[in-house]
């Protein structure tokens, strides 16, 4: 933590919550530098990709806002390395909606299996959130919040 931000200064370790989650709404804000690469894993199985690598290095289903290797965003938003972006992700079962900077880029689509780097393949079970820290440094996260339907309140991740 640095000035209230979760900061990955260099190639480091992954962070995983102790708590596990089933269906949820997740909000986070991320600042990804040019040539940065990370991911925010849902239930430890489905990666929402965060990257600003050269476009020639990744197909659409491996670019920012995708479900890594599975679902490409239906819209490509302007690339803004080094600026804060918001992500609002809803996951119910294996159906995901991703809203990036207020724009629905993946809308109620089924994820057809785990993504690379998944902690396990137990798709029917609750799982943790985890943030990749082992790719590149320079990423910053803030305002990470999760809402769980049965609790009907927003809870900061721990």
- Span 69-124, pLDDT tens digits: 999 999 999 999 999 999 999 999 999 999 999 999 999 999 999 999 999 999 99
In whole angstroms, what separates CA 98 from the centre of its chain?
9
User: Which of the four pLDDT bands, split at 50, 70 and 90, describes residue 32?
Assistant: very high
- Span 48-77, pLDDT tens digits: 999 999 999 999 999 999 999 999 999 999
- Span 140-152, pLDDT tens digits: 999 999 998 765 4
Domain range list for the chain: 11-148
User: Which of the four pLDDT bands, split at 50, 70 and 90, describes residue 7?
Assistant: confident
Concatenate the DSSP letters of all residues of 17-86 into one string.
-SS-BSSEEEEEEEE--TT-EEEEEETTTEEEEEE---GGGS-GGGSTTSBTTTB--SS-PPP-TTSEEE
On whether the 11-148 domain is CATH 2.60.120.560, my answer is yes
Instruction: Share the mean pLDDT of the chain.
Output: 92
């Amino acid at each position: 933590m640095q000035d209230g931000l979760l900061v990955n200064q260099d190639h480091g370790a992954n962070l995983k919550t102790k708590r596990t989650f089933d269906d949820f709404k997740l909000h986070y804000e991320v600042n990804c530098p040019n040539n940065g690469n990370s991911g925010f894993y849902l239930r430890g199985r489905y990666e929402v990709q965060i990257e600003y690598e050269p476009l020639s290095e990744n197909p659409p289903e491996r670019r920012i806002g995708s479900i890594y290797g599975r679902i490409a965003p239906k819209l490509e938003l302007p690339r803004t390395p080094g600026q804060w972006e918001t992500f609002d992700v809803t996951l119910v079962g294996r159906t995901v909606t991703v809203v990036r900077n207020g724009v629905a880029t993946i809308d109620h689509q089924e994820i057809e299996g785990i993504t690379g780097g998944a902690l396990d393949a137990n798709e029917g079970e609750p799982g943790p959130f985890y943030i990749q820290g082992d790719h590149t440094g320079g990423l910053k996260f803030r305002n990470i919040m999760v809402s769980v339907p049965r609790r009907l309140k927003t809870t900061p991740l721990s």
